[in-house]
DNA sequence: CACTTGACCTGTCCGC
DNA sequence: TGCGGACAGGTCAAGT
């Protein structure tokens, strides 16, 4: 799915596009994609206005004026797309990557009183949207366990190390992907960060040196910041809140570059399987031992 | 307990 | 062209 940079890009877009708008209706098209009672929806979503749009890890949070929030996880193929009331129909400039909405992947439609819409699309139906009291968000199991935000100013190298060390017998890539260790890293940026740090994804955490930790810490943060600047990665489904693709993969080092020369040393980039995920490495730059 | 694998879904691509 | 299997940005439950 959308990893931290993609969700952050969507957050920024929604912050500009929907804050202050008032919800006229919420229409779930697939039951498991929208988790809320009809009573809660009519009492706390209908006629509510959008107060703020936040992000924690890969979770998007839309706070409503009623002290309820729409909490959204896009998983692998979720999209949140805004359409103004003039935007319908093919050929309109803001209808960029996808055509008219709703389409067959649309799972929830939110209509605002000004006639604009927010569409929750999700090809694979893994993602969800739930309406819960804002104060309850911190009690969600995921929120209880999720690790620190890697881009926060108070996230230090020491904190990074300490959280990794609890996973001593894991492979480094598995630890990076583990949301209870640090928040927001997914398959694309794990591979990119490991390449940048010159660390092989199958190294056990307990073998990491201080220099490895420094390199990983620096590269996770660098990669995430760069990816936000590039507005995320579009490997297949990802688009931002206006339907535009992300540009990070144009300059990726190794992700989906198998068979191509390493930008660092020219060795052919390989694709292997680590922690059950497709994994891209330069076998020369990222030595296993 | 710590760590790895399968399941959840739909769509696409690749080999036979 | 058809069909089966592998794979896809994530996370949880169940397995070892």
Digit-coded pLDDT (tens) for A121-172: 999 999 999 999 999 999 999 999 999 999 999 999 999 999 999 998 999 9
Q: What is the pLDDT of residues A11-39, one digit of tens each?
A: 999 999 999 999 999 999 999 999 999 99
Chain C: positions less than 7 Å from a protein CB are: 7-12
- Report whether A256 contacts A32 (CB < 8 A): no
Minimum-distance nucleotide, CA of A179 to C1':
C11
Model confidence at A96: pLDDT above 80: no
pLDDT of residue A88: 53
Q: What is the pLDDT of residues A187-210, one digit of tens each?
A: 999 999 999 999 999 999 999 999
Q: What is the pLDDT of residues A213-263, one digit of tens each?
A: 999 999 999 999 999 999 999 999 999 999 999 999 999 999 999 999 999
pLDDT band of A289, cuts 50, 70, 90: confident
Q: How far is the CA of A207 from the C1' of B1 (A)?
A: 21
Q: How far is the CA of A76 from the C1' of C5 (A)?
A: 21
pLDDT of residue A72: 98
Token pair recorded at residue A7: 């969700």
A277 labelled catalytic: yes
Token pair recorded at residue A111: 């209509």
What's the CA dihedral at A66, A144, A78, A195 to 10 degrees? 140
CA nearest A143: which of A73, A91, A204?
Answer: A73
Model confidence at A91: pLDDT above 90: no
Minimum-distance nucleotide, CA of A146 to C1':
C11
A58 labelled catalytic: yes
Q: At what angle do helices A210-229 and A157-165 cross, to 10 degrees?
A: 110
- DSSP assignment letter at A262: P
């Amino acid at each position: 799915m959308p990893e931290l940079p993609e969700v952050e890009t969507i957050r920024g877009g929604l912050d500009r596009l929907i804050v202050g708008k008032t919800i006229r209706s919420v229409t779930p098209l697939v039951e498991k994609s929208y988790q809320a009672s009809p009573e809660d929806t009519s009492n706390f979503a209908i006629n509510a206005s959008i107060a703020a749009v936040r992000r924690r890890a890969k979770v998007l949070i839309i706070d409503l004026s009623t002290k309820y929030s729409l909490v959204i996880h896009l998983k692998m193929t979720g999209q949140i797309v805004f359409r103004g009331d003039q935007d319908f129909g093919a050929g309109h400039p803001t209808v960029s990557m996808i055509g008219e909405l709703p389409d067959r992947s649309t799972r929830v439609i939110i209509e605002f009183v000004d006639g604009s819409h927010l569409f929750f699309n999700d090809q694979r139906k893994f993602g969800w949207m739930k309406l819960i009291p804002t104060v309850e968000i911190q009690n969600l199991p995921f929120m209880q366990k999720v690790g620190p935000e890697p881009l926060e100013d108070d996230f230090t190298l020491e904190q990074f190390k300490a959280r990794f060390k609890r996973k001593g017998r894991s492979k480094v890539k598995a630890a990076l992907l583990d949301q209870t260790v640090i928040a927001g890293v997914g398959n694309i940026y794990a591979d990119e960060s490991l390449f940048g740090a010159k660390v092989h994804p199958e190294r056990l955490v307990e073998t990491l040196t201080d220099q490895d930790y420094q390199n990983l810490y620096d590269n996770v943060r660098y990669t995430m910041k760069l990816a936000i600047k590039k507005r995320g990665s579009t490997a297949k489904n990802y688009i931002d809140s206006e339907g535009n693709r992300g540009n990070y993969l144009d300059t990726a080092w190794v992700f989906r570059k198998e068979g191509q020369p390493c930008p660092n040393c020219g060795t052919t980039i390989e694709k292997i399987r680590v922690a059950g995920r497709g994994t891209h490495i330069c076998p020369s730059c990222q030595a296993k031992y």
